[in-house]
């Protein structure tokens, strides 16, 4: 039996664990019942390196039980009227609202982002539930004019079936929420494999969802959970019973996942790496630039897929922007600390591996000619804290500039004009998010046009991070091409049928073909 660490249980600061009904014994698999027969995993607090809890992961048999339970639940779930499914998702949103503070605190404790961001992440799940409820009353097909007399041509959408979701550590609840709320409304069931380092968030979330399902007399295996390692991920990728696999993570692993899913002609939704740039044109509002850039570069300790990695500044305002950015960073450095502390602005990196990657990237940038303008060091003797870092002096096409390090490191580049800046924005393999700061309407339309940014998310006078749930989220090129959250992303969770009904006594062929 595996118990939560005593330093948490005995500290009033962590009483929220009991509010979430996290018990002293926690299993990492839910198939309608809590179980787990695999290896033990340890949840580590990034703030102090201490063990939060030990969890029993799932093994191959646990995975199989989850799939079978989900398929059984699908038979009833998919047959419910769409508005009825929406009503249950509405209740899930309300249940999350009731637990928003303790669940947000758990995100901060286990992932490391500051509390406003932890709570904001739960709010994102609440918002997407509200959005999905609206979809439950508005999803529709189409009636298309038929060229044949006495014929009706229709389009109808039906559920796909069992959906797999592999989420990443940096958004341990929101990404699952994007997928699950919409997939559930569409009539799918979901099997979730969270990041191995954030098991408690997933357990607490499924606790909330399963109770709502049970209160409505619904098989709680509509939403199953299988914590585990790469073996569980491989099962999801190769299993033909998984109709769509949504994967959020690195480009390297995402490529492997995509290939495996494609081998079996499955569907995949990939949200992979980003190497996002903010372009500061000569006519930009510098006050807006500085405010936006600080959060975009250093927020979440640089661990958002939409974090700004490159700051491309027009040569006329380069010195001013750099000087003011360094001054702003100097105010952050004194507010690095425990993410659960309301005074903290910058929490830790997520793991010791992240810290090692930070140090390696700093060293590589210096070898390639980079100069540290600010930061570049570790902070404190406990936890995984680093300084937000600004690096200048590198060429726009330096190898380290074209790679993504999940840490608060930004490269500043000097451009001579907007056309050059746009070309630099587009030259990296990734294509997630991008921003232009300008007051010129002509520049705006050049930026959003066919020869402007090649990213999936294109912003003007706002930073690269902080997307709204109403718009489709995702990127192009090595970012994967998938879309989650708003707009028409729901279509990925359903299959489309083109239906022709002949209600006449004749059998005319299309295109006027005669075969008599």
CATH code where residue 228 lies: 3.40.605.10
Q: Does one domain contain both 215 and 344?
A: no
229/298 same-domain check: no
In a shared domain, residues 233 and 295: no
Two tokens at 453? 């940014």
SS3 467: coil
Cα distance from N-terminal residue to C-terminal residue, the chain: 75
Query: Nearest 5 degrees, angle CA 232-CA 235-CA 239?
Result: 150
Q: What is the largest CA-CA distance in the chain?
A: 86
305 is catalytic: yes
Q: How far apart are CA 82 and CA 137, in angstroms?
A: 7
Same domain, 350 and 383: yes
Supply the DSSP string of 47-81, one letter for each residue.
Answer: TT--EEEEEE---HHHHHHHHHHHHHHHHHHTTS-
Structural domain total, the chain: 2
What is the distance between the alpha carbons of residues 167 and 202, in angstroms, rounded to a whole number?
A: 10
Token pair for residue 352?
A: 């010791």
- Same domain assignment for residues 150 and 247: yes
Specify the pLDDT at position 438.
Answer: 98
- Is 178 found in the same domain as 319? no
CATH number at residue 449: 3.40.309.10
Distance CA 492, CA 163 (A): 10
Classify residue 103: in a domain, yes or no. yes
Q: Are residues 189 and 319 in the same domain?
A: no
Catalytic residue from among 271, 373, 387, 404: 271
Same domain, 149 and 264: yes
| Same domain membership, residue 259 and residue 303 | no
The predicted model scores a pTM of 0.96
CA dihedral for 65, 221, 206, 214, sign (positive or negative): negative
Q: Kind of pairing, strands 29-30 and 34-35? A: antiparallel
**Residue 339 to residue 354: CA distance in whole angstroms:** 17
Same domain, 190 and 302: no
**DSSP secondary structure of 80-104:** S-HHHHHHHHHHHHHHHHHTHHHHH
Q: What's the pLDDT score for residue 343? A: 94
User: What pLDDT shows up at residue 9?
Assistant: 58
Is 297 catalytic? The answer is: no
Nearest to 296, CA basis, from 421, 457, 103, 441? 457
The confidence score (pLDDT) of residue 22 equals 79
Tell whether 34 is covered by a domain: no
325 occurs within a structural domain: yes
List the domain range (segments joined by +) for residue 113. 57-272+480-496
Q: Is residue 46 part of a domain?
A: no
How many C-beta atoms surround the C-beta of residue 356 within 10 A? 12
pLDDT given at position 370 = 98
Q: Which of 186, 305, 405, 455 is catalytic?
A: 305
| Whether 451 and 311 share a structural domain | yes
pLDDT tens-place values along the chain, 516 residues long: 345 565 565 677 888 888 888 766 678 999 999 999 999 999 999 999 999 999 999 999 999 999 999 999 999 999 999 999 999 999 999 999 999 999 999 999 999 999 999 999 999 999 999 999 999 999 999 999 999 999 999 999 999 999 999 999 999 999 999 999 999 999 999 999 999 999 999 999 999 999 999 999 999 999 999 999 999 999 999 999 999 999 999 999 999 999 999 999 999 999 999 999 999 999 999 999 999 999 999 999 999 999 999 999 999 999 999 999 999 999 999 999 999 999 999 999 999 999 999 999 999 999 999 999 999 999 988 999 999 999 999 999 999 999 999 999 999 999 999 999 999 999 999 999 999 999 999 999 999 999 999 999 999 999 999 889 999 999 999 999 999 999 999 999 999 999 999 999 999 888 888 887
Please check whether residue 201 lies inside any domain of the structure: yes
pLDDT of 287:
97
Do 141 and 268 belong together in one domain? yes
């Amino acid at each position: 039996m595996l118990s939560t660490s005593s330093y948490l249980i005995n500290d009033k600061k962590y009483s929220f664990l009991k509010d979430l009904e996290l018990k002293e014994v926690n299993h990492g698999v839910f198939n309608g019942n809590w179980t787990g027969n695999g290896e033990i995993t340890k949840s580590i607090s990034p703030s102090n390196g201490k063990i939060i809890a030990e969890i029993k992961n799932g093994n191959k048999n646990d995975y199989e039980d989850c799939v079978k339970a989900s398929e059984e639940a699908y038979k009833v779930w998919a047959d419910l009227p769409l508005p009825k499914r929406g009503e249950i998702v509405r209740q899930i949103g309300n249940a999350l609202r009731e637990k928003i503070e303790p669940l947000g605190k758990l995100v901060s404790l286990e992932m490391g982002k500051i509390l406003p961001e932890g709570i904001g992440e739960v709010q994102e799940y609440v918002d997407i539930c509200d959005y999905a409820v609206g979809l439950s009353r508005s999803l529709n097909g189409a009636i298309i004019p038929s060229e044949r007399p006495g014929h009706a041509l229709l389009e109808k959408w039906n559920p796909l079936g069992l959906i797999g979701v592999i989420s990443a550590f940096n958004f341990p609840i929101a990404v699952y929420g994007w997928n699950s709320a919409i997939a559930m409304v569409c009539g799918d069931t979901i099997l979730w494999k969270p990041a191995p380092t954030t098991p408690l968030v997933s357990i607490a979330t499924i606790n909330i969802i399963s109770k709502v399902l049970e209160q409505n007399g619904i098989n709680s295996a509509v939403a199953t959970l299988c914590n585990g390692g790469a073996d569980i991920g491989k099962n999801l990728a190769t299993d033909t019973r998984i109709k769509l696999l949504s994967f959020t993570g690195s480009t390297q692993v995402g490529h492997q996942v995509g290939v495996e899913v494609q081998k079996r002609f499955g569907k995949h939704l990939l949200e992979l790496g980003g190497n996002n740039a903010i372009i500061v044109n000569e006519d930009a509002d510098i006050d807006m630039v500085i405010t936006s850039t600080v959060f975009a570069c250093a927020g979440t300790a640089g661990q958002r897929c939409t974090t700004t990695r490159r700051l491309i500044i027009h040569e006329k305002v380069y010195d001013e922007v750099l000087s003011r950015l360094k001054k702003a960073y100097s105010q952050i450095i004194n507010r690095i600390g425990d993410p659960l502390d309301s005074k903290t602005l910058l929490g830790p990196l997520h793991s010791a591996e992240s810290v090692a990657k930070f140090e390696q990237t700093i060293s590589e940038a210096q070898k390639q000619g980079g100069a540290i303008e600010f930061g570049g060091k570790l902070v404190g003797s406990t936890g995984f804290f680093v300084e937000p870092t600004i690096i200048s002096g590198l060429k726009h096409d330096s190898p380290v500039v074209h790679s993504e390090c999940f840490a608060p490191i930004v490269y500043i580049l000097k451009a001579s004009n907007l056309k050059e800046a746009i070309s630099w924005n587009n030259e990296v393999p990734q294509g997630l998010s991008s921003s232009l700061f300008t007051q010129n309407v002509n520049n705006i339309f050049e930026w959003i046009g066919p020869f402007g940014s090649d990213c999936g998310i294109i912003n003007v006078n706002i930073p690269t991070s902080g997307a709204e749930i109403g718009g489709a989220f995702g990127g192009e090129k090595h970012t994967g091409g998938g879309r989650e959250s708003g707009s028409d992303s729901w279509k990925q969770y359903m299959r489309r049928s083109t239906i022709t009904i002949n209600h006449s006594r004749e059998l005319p062929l299309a295109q006027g073909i005669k075969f008599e």
